[in-house]
Structure 1
Amino acid sequence: MLRLADFLKEWGVNSACVAGGGEPFMNKGMSTLLRRMHENGLESGVITNGSLLTNKDISTLAETCLWVGFSMDAATPRTYMNIKGIKNETLFGKVCENIMKLVRESKDTKCSVAYKYLLIPENQYEIYAAVKLAKSLGVRDFHLRPVGWDNLTKTKGKEDYSYDLESINEQIARGQKLETENFRVFGIRHKFNP
């Protein structure tokens, strides 16, 4: 992985996003990769589920990343467990603690922290609660986007997502009323009609 970071520098790449296909921090060398990318002048962003982060990883993220997105998709432990397919009742709280730790560590850095919310029918009535939670955790941004044509794993073979668009739009609008200079709400809705 370190060779990749060096190749990116040689190729003149300015930035890179570490995400997709699984949790980046399953690889124990992730913090080392991020530090090397930073040393090589690459701006980086990471999307993580936040469950495996150590204090060292959190410090590395704060010091090296331009942004970090936490894939949360819920406002409550129960919904989080159902959506993620896990049985650990304490994991949601642990990830929220990790978010707060990163927010604190990022206070004097360029790192922006986001609460990411992939909208599916099972979490569509928790949007506003998730926005409030995200704000209370101190993140800079709340990002909502619906699962859809661009995520075939979740949507293959499904014809009706049973979205309550009126409720979704109302919750996003209420959430946007919580915006401040330091907290923004982004609700992507155009993907409901791909």
Structure 2
Amino acid sequence: MSNDRFAIDSHKLYWHLDRVSDWQKNRLIAPIYLEISPVSYCNHHCIFCGLDFARNERVALDADVLMTRIEEMGRLGVKSIMFAGEGEPLLHPRLAEIAARASSCGIDVSVTTNGMSGNSAVWEKLLPSLTWIRFSIDAATAETYAAVHGVPTAGFERTIASLREAVRIKRELNLPVTVGVQFLMIQQNLADIKEALTLYSEIGTDYLAFKPYSEHPQMLNKSGYMYSAELIDSIDEQVQAFMKSSAGKTAIIFRKAATEAYGDQLPRFSSCCALPFWGYISSAGDFYTCSVFLNDERFKVGNVSDEEMTAILFGERRRSSLQYGKNGLTIGHECRVNCRMARANEFLNFLERTPDHVNFI
């Protein structure tokens, strides 16, 4: 039984069929969704960080330039932005202002954060601009949190206090923002799953999502961690048992399909068709058609510091990069297994294979 009303373990292109139709007609389209990295630095040292290779300089996006580009994005058809990336987004001193500007442009805004820097003042400014916020906590005890996130044990209580404040302010201000918690499953935190189910339901988060580990091809601290069928079944049983016994409103989401797909270690699509629908802006301002290929000139198509979004999104560099992504990439060799666009790619690859007798629906 699925409890994923957010379709976290799926994709949402069914609700953007106008953009899909334009893509099918080989039109160069604006992305629906962008991920933006406000800063390159982080206050945690997570042992599973997929972007550990990118945090080698103290770099932050210029807020004024970024807000100008965000206004351009809104006019061009970008519909959503997630602030996450190489570092911890809450460390950007003007994040709340940037998020408010994006929201005022009609763009849905989200933040993925470790949450430790949050407090009532931060949440009162930031939450009104957000569609959702996701706390990456990945533990239910101070000891596990310290081991997984590379911080002192006191950091856990600070993060939990921050989460409780976010939930409180959401309720007191009657905000529509979704407040969720993410638990990335690795060997070091599996024993915390049962306690996590209880803790985050008691806090009253809107959801608790269990997601699989995924190695970025460039990451430095690769563990090679995998999921057996027995382990997947065990996690599923814990989740289902809790859901049957709990009367809480927290949605419990075990990303079982993604976990099984990672266990297969085989791509379920043959070409990358999803790049036109999203993009990534690094803390240095570089626009990439895919975040897996940071520092790779094949996928770097401009820089927001000195180029307007029209030139970046509809320029020849992006067009060429998207074509290379579709026709030149060796998916099973170069790409990240279970990448952010995996489910979207499965759908788009299905559309590419037009069956015979297509009008007999």
For residues 1-194 of structure 1, what are the structure 2 equivalents within 5 Å?
Answer: 1-87=66-152, 89-107=153-171, 108-149=174-215, 153=219, 156=222, 158=224, 164-177=231-244, 180=247, 182-190=249-257, 191-192=259-260, 193-194=263-264
SS at 1:51 equivalent: coil
Distance 2:190 2:200 in 1: 16
TM-score normalised according to structure 2 size = 0.49
Larger radius of gyration: 2
Q: Are the equivalent residues in 2 in contact too, given 1:51–1:95 (CA < 8 A)?
A: yes
SS at 1:16 equivalent: strand
Distance 2:97 2:114 in 1: 19
Q: Are the equivalent residues in 1 in contact too, given 2:103–2:109 (CA < 8 A)?
A: yes
Q: Deviations over 1:20-42 (max 9, x none)?
A: 22210121111111111122221
Q: Are the equivalent residues in 2 in contact too, given 1:116–1:142 (CA < 8 A)?
A: yes
1:154 deviates by 8.0
> CA 1:9–1:139 in structure 2 vs 1: closer, same or farther (change >3 Å)?
same
> CA 1:176–1:61 in structure 2 vs 1: closer, same or farther (change >3 Å)?
farther
1:17 deviates by 1.1
More strand by share: 1
1:136 deviates by 1.1
Q: Deviations over 1:85-117 (max 9, x none)?
A: 112x22111111111111111121110100110
Q: Are the equivalent residues in 1 in contact too, given 2:201–2:248 (CA < 8 A)?
A: no
> Which runs of 5 or more residues in structure 2 are unaligned?
1-65, 265-361
Q: CA RMSD in A?
A: 2.4
Q: Are the equivalent residues in 2 in contact too, given 1:83–1:122 (CA < 8 A)?
A: yes
Distance 1:6 1:35 in 2: 11
Q: RCO greater where, 1 or 2, for CA within 8 Å and sep 6 or more?
A: 2
TM-score normalised according to structure 1 size = 0.88
> CA 1:64–1:117 in structure 2 vs 1: closer, same or farther (change >3 Å)?
same
1:152 deviates by 6.6
Q: Deviations over 1:116-175 (max 9, x none)?
A: 100001111211211111111110100111103568738836265678344322222223
> Which runs of 5 or more residues in structure 1 are unaligned?
none
- The one-letter amino acid of 2:160's match is C
1:10 deviates by 2.2
- The one-letter amino acid of 1:138's match is G
